[in-house]
Structure 1
Amino acid sequence: MSDEHTREKSAASPLRSLASDPDLVRSLFGAADTGVVVTDADDTVTWAGDRVGEYFGFDAEEAVGTERTAVLESWIRPRLEAPARFPASNDGCGPDGTCYHVLATETCEERWVRHHGHEVSTGPLAGGRIDQFVDVTERHVSDRPVDDQRYETLFDHFPNGAVTLVDESLRYRLARGELFDGLPETPRSVEGAKVSDVTSGDRTEFVETYRRTLAGESVTTETTVADRVLVHRTHPVSTEDGSVCAAIGVTQDITDRKARERELRRNREFLRDVQAVADVGGWEVDFRSETLTWTDEVYRIHDLPTDYEPSVDSGLAFYHPEDRGRMERAYEALARDGERYDLELRIVTASDEVRWVRSIGKPWTDEEGRLVGARGTIQDITDRKTRERKLEESRNRYRTLVENVPNGAVALVDADLRYTTVGGTPIEEASTTPSELVGRSVETALPSDLATLLVPNYAAALDGEHRTFTGSIGDRDYRFRIVPVRSDDGRVFAAMGMSQDITTEERRERELREAKQRLHIALEETETGVWVLEDGDTLRPFGTITDLFGVDPGTDSLETYMERIHPADRPAVEDGLRAAREDGARFDVEYRVRTGRGDRWVHARGKVLDDTDGQRMVGVTTDVTDRKRRVGALEKRERVLRELHTATREFYPPSSLPEIATFLVEFVERAFGFGYVSVKRFDEETGRLQPAARSSSVDAPIAPGPVDPGENPIWEAYRNGESRIFDGGEIGDGTHAALNQALIVPIGDFGVTLACTTGERAFDDVDLDLIEVAAANAESAFQRHHSDRVRTEITRELSTQQTKVDELRGVIDVIQGIQRRIADSESQAALDAGVCEELRRTEPIDFVWIGRPRGRDTDLEPVAWAGDDGGYLDSVGTDESDGRVPAQRAAASHETYTLSNVSEHVLDDAWAKEALSAGLRSVVCIPLVYDEVLYGVLTAYSATEDAFGQLYEDLLTDVTSLVVNYSRILEHRYEATNREFLELEFALSDATYPLQRLATEADAAIRYDTVAESTSDAVRCLVTVERGDAERVLERARSTASVVDAEWFGTVEHGQLSLWIKRPFLPSDVVKHGGRLLESTTTADGTTVRVALPATASPRPLLDSITSRYPDIDLLAQRQTTSPEGTDTATVTDRLTDRQHEILNAAYYGGYYETPRKVTGEDLAESFEISSPAVYNHLQAAHRTLLETVLDPEHGFRY
């Protein structure tokens, strides 16, 4: 055997030795450059290293759970150069290994591996295998000897531990792993050192461990290094002949695992302690092994040692003979049907002690739900049972007490709020006897109102509280006392309630309280005090006496009270007291008491009483200050109102607003005697309060003048409509120190009354009320005067409105007359004449005429007139020879021209002198304009200045609109035969014309066919490209701003397009002014247009329109003809609907009636965005109308 093979074999030997420890294999080779597959006895892969997947191109985790044969056959064999050599079974995979060439694929690289197979004979994987794949690529490529580098890489990254290799001389041959990161030694310092020289850990134990391992024994020990708990496993390394040549050691940090184990032990000890404290133990019966297991507490409850081996029968035998049958039946139901139980029974312990226990049993099932045993608990409840017995005895004692309690009712309630004992005389409203209450809950046994009162208090007593309270049940009053009842150990086990009827007692106390309360209220409300005068000079006060006199409570000296009496009133009080004492007269005196709040009036009454204790006087004193003031105020009010009534009766009715203001100032000054009084009235023109009247006294202070809106007291009182009292310093400029207070009282919206006091005088409520009454009277007078003025203005306005109504009626009559004349007019001359005659009928118009332009707009020719112009129209020219007359000014500006006074222009315009000479003093001129083209001017004159207001200007504007519209109607009203036309031919080379732009850009010839549709903003016309590229024309049209939309009309080969073109557009302008477009062709050189006009129509509007729109258009020729190209369609189109005409027109010019058709019904439908049947219906209706027009004698021709 070669050295190379020997080294590889020695590397594999430890694996064979360690195969019995699967966890060790995973830890050792999980991150090494050696691929390992671990298989259990069932030939199932339980673990696969990442290197296996890397070597053969699969996910190692997916191999876990797969059969070993499947992994070898499907995932490893296909990657080999010679797959037939790879064994599928255990045969041929000996520990010596076999080399295989792994081919490169998309998931793995090319390499050489040696396969070692190992049988596992011991441990959890006994009967399984470990397959090891070692990368030997470098050896096969360079033929260099194998060294320990591969294992060094493996051991350097050994997780959470260390791997060491010790030779027979007890020297570390290899020491690697992450454990060294926390030790003072490093792997390099350990390698080569003797085990006994390394200081970390227990050296003696390590030396002994390795000696035993070198002797062929695998050893596992635990040690502590640097506060970490380590597990140290050593295994012998054998040579080929079986002799041990080295020892490999694997050390892992198990500190965390040890901590978890300690926590588990603590939890178990805690559970054991809890069971002991609660006297609860657990038991378990396994039906499969027929074994019974007890916890330590169960042994203690039965007074048995823990080495006692219980059985089901022996366990049941411990139950008391009287309870054993019940327990046996419960256990039998649990074992047979899985029925749980919870019983309280007696047992007899091993020491013959009888104990009460609570035994609970529950079924124990496996994962499939099958009953495999029973589990439960057993609790020692002997103490509780003893307490319950004592409690019952205590209840019996209380029951005896309760049943014999005198003069009341007593009840004992348990923890569940149920009556256990009731005695004495219960509450009548309970409607039940004591015996009927026992056993029932308080809430259900009593009426709801009584239960609502008692239940919360019984609950509080059960919580240890004492409750005493009163309550009314029906018409009776009761006092309740509820207290807790405690056992010998102080625990509350019941509550005792006692009730007593206190109705009579409560009634007496309530009546006494009410009497005292009524007396107290009476004294306070009437501000009355009670006093008792004893021994001549000792006074005992009650009630409000001390407050009334302003002395300290408890003051009893008569002199102290006498000192508070006003000096002027004291003699009367002293005389009254003397008379009562000496003569027995009744004491009854009203006097003033001086206090810090000013003088107060009091009324004192008293009487001398004689008794065994001697003579004393008892009396009452009442504060009558308010009454005194009310009496004074009432007297003052009556006086002022009487004076106001007299003065008002003498003053009314007032003749003017200033007279009202003066009256108010004089009355307030005379009735109240204030230092200053004034009235300020709101001025509508200036928007401020202006002085209207003021005090006449020369000594009166100077008050402020006009008051502007803003933040000042006078304006604020006026704005809010509320009376206000201010300090005098806030009024005026603050320079009049004599002013004490100012009172401002609004007079509605008309103004304010201002009154001021001087010295120490202040306004009282009576002053305010009475001045408000006077101001209200003044407001009424102002309002009456204002109403009279408004009534006069309304009467004047109504008269004016009536005049305007009459004018409107006249205007309406004129408009109706003009409408009739227009409707009856058969010619332009009749129309103009009728309009002038009807306008002359209106009151302000004395002369009216209509002028039509002959060449330029200002070259007007009178065509109709009405009224007497006094030769004015003949004396002035309308050709601008003498300056522009008003009509020419309106024609030039195309806007209404109005002149309200002709005489103002005499010096500047010659026509004005002629007009004034003819008696014409005002004029209005309205131009007749359509589509910015002047058709004429309507001029009206009046002999009155400023005669044409907005009403007549609107009338004339409406009339000119009617004239223009009906003139166009007359131009289109053609006879069916003998028509004469004027044919005009134009040449256009304007780039703004859309078809000209398209023809130039596409170098094409475009023929205009017809207008298919029109809206207020655009027209849809059909054009045919006669020469050039129609596709290019369509493309240019779609990019032209004035073309809204462009599409093919019909088939492409016919070259016809549908163009939506924005207005204005030449063909629509021609039609608008009465013409018909006969022909139009556009090339890159220009556009030729032929237009026909009725001979009776003026060509000027049309020429003005198109020449203003297209400056580069030239008139090439004009000719008279009686039959223009095309048939007269007026009669026919009048009978067609707009949609019928549009579709018929598009069908004709689109080639629908040609053979073959250039457009189909579907093309027309798509073009007009309607359905094909709708197109068909429109065409049929149009055809029927055409045939009726041609063939029907009523409409068409006769042959």
Structure 2
Amino acid sequence: MSITRTEEDTFLRGVLESLESGLVVVDGLGTIVFANDAAGELVGRSPERLSDRPLDELFADEDGNVMRRVREAARSDGGLLDGTFTVHLADAEGRRFPTQIEVGTTDHDGEQHYTLSLTEPPRQAGSRALDQTGGVLRGVFKESNDGLLVIDPTADRVADCNGRACALLGCERESLLSRRPAELLPHDPESLLEFAETGRRVTGELNCCTDRDERPTVEITLSLFSVGGHRHVLVHLRDVTEHREREARLRRRSEAMDAASDGIAILDENREFVYVNQAHAEIYGCESSSDLVGESWEILYGAEEARRFRWDVLPTVREEGEWRGEATGRRTDGSTFPQEVSISRLDDGGYVCVVRDVSEPRRRTRGLEVLNRASHDLSQARTAEAVAETAVETAENLLETDVACVRLFDRDSNSFELAAMTDDASKLVESRSAFDLKSTLAGRSYRTGEPVFDRPNPDDPFVETPKWGSLHVPLSEYGILTVLIGSDETLSAGDQRLVEALAETVTADLERAERERELRESERTVREQRNRLSSLNRVNELVQDLIRELIEAPTREELEQGVCERLADTDRYKGAWLAETDVNGDWRVLKASAGLSEGYRTLVEQLPLEQVDDGVVARTAETGEFGVTSNYRTDGAPGAATVAEPTRVDSTAAVPLSYDDRLYGVLVLKADDPDAFGPDIRPGLEVLGDTIGFAIHAVESRRLLLSDEVVELEFEVTDERCLAVDVSEELGCYAAIEQAVLTREGNHLCYLRVDGVDAETAAAVTAEATAVADCRVVDEYEDGCLLEVRKTESGAEAMMDVGATITRATAEDGVGTLVVEAPPDADIREVIDGYTARNPESSLVAKRETDRGVQTTAAVRERLDEQLTEKQESALTAAYYAGYYDWPRGSTAEELAESLDVASATLHQHLRTAERKLLAAVLED
């Protein structure tokens, strides 16, 4: 069916009036020439009142010259949509609300008009008659930003369409007009006819079935209008793809707000919550966000903080649009916490509030500050114990806990030792002896090398200490850091990390302290070794000097006094004295001394030897072993006073003076240095003691040899250990020891004369005697023999130990006579005891003081002259002066015989005979 010009105007007017979006047409000067009912509803005025009014009157003053923005939008290159922008529309009551304007242009009779599509605000009913010309309406229909289709349901065809509809559906106009409505819309013809009959307005969405690959989301609105009594359906198509994407973005933002870790809330203009995410509710201790919706924000703050918000914060937000700062929130249980708050103003008078609980970050920051200070303090600790003390103090401050300890592993005992603990931990251990601060869990952490966290569980009846939880962190191989947590306390993951960081620092400082300890010990060892070496060198030098002086000492008294004075003169010792036994065998103190104070000398003279210098001198006298004491004291004997010298005696050494198992005395040294007689010095002092003992022995031996007066002791001996007694008893004969010599191996070589027995029998019996190692016949004569006997022990050795010598040892039929010579001042009791201890079956029968005759050189020569023949004396004299006895020899026997004009054999005979007579003159009595 055809449509006339008049019908066309009516048709287009109906189309534009049926649009749901506001449509305004303005001319080039900005005057409104057309507005549909929807536009009138937006501003609260009828379309008629809008006609011929300036466009800018519809908008708020803050938007400025809207018509200028319309022209700029129209000039932009936007394809079908020439331009879009948002302004604030002002209704008849002065209320403002944002409105999106889509600008299009159309020409009518050579004059440019602008079509404005107003969207987003709610629609209001209203109508007005179109008073514009048909050409303007046709331009509006053609240039509308929404797609428009006119469907004739009776003819089941598309009666008309505009360019926007073609663009949305992806069809050319001719193709679109040739299609049936069912091919384009999700409604069959029956539905369209039903809609045409009822006249209901239908709104929905569909994905257009375009000829292109794109499938935009289109909002479709069906409305019914009549032209010339014939019903048509107006299909209003609006591309809402961007709108839906924006809604999706808003939905995602809403979901993000719900999932955010920060608390987010929206308040209305009355400052009541209209939206709260779960994080915001949990920050304040609420189980659900619904617990806060409809409540005032002031319930989340104390009175002072709420007052600050009302008078300071909210006015700033209203003036500047936002505020950011710190506040103190209050949880539902009444506890407070620090928070960071960001508040922004909304256009509708409400607020968006973002809250972050900063108690944990602040606690972490405080923890880092504590760790930083602890790192400095730990670096100053010099021992493992000091490191442990600092670690416990830091743990106490770090977690604000009362019970903490550090256990260090003792490798020697293979166990933990409590190196440091807090006062409350100490009280807990003392009050509950069975409570060991969770040592079992500490051991597990040490073995695995991993932290062990035991949460408190007051409801567990099987746990030994249910009210206490604990955290144990290993300190490498050095030990464990333990922190106990009460049932009313919490330990967050951040707290655990702080404790683990502390443990790492403590471990490093324990390792450093161990290295420093080893270094100090090494330095001390080197220093001690250097000092000991220096001391040892000085002692060795002293010993060498003393040895030279000892060799030159003429008497024992001068030797002993010289030793004391020499030692007291050194810077190492402040005094020296010597103790020895008297003739009765009792110990005599201060035999010689030097450098001693009068008080100390008096004390030594008055006290028994067992009480002198803590008994160290008596012990050495008894055992013959080197002794040291570091502190002088007395045993509190009656009449004895405690030593109180102005200069304290710090160290005393008792050095035995011995030679060949005989103790001649004890040398006592005094020193201020407690380490003056350390292990490294002791060997040198022992050598000194042995040297002095040897020197004393040498002096006494020399005195015995050179003394004109001697004490002669005669013993009757029946002991079988005496060689002469044993042999004479076995053979029933006479036996005498002619001479005895000490061998290099320490054996005694004796020359035994046996009379009245043949040599073979005498040698056989002698070989079986006590302590005999070997026996051989040296000489045989008519009624006896001379035997060389090697013995492993001898009474002569015992006599030499006490400074005496055996001059005669004979026996007949098992009864012997032994004569011993000793110096006049010798300890006779010691000599007697020395021999009887060796031969118990002996007794002293006589003691005589005699003068020993001196054998001069002249007497010896006279005796030789009487015994040597002229030829023997000539041979001996020539051999001596010809160097025959030198080494190497100056003359051989052959050369000497030739010089004397005798045979070699004759020379040897003369020399052997002369040599024997010479030795006999010297060695025999």
TM-score when scaled to structure 2? 0.41
Larger relative contact order (CA 8 Å, sep ≥ 6): 2
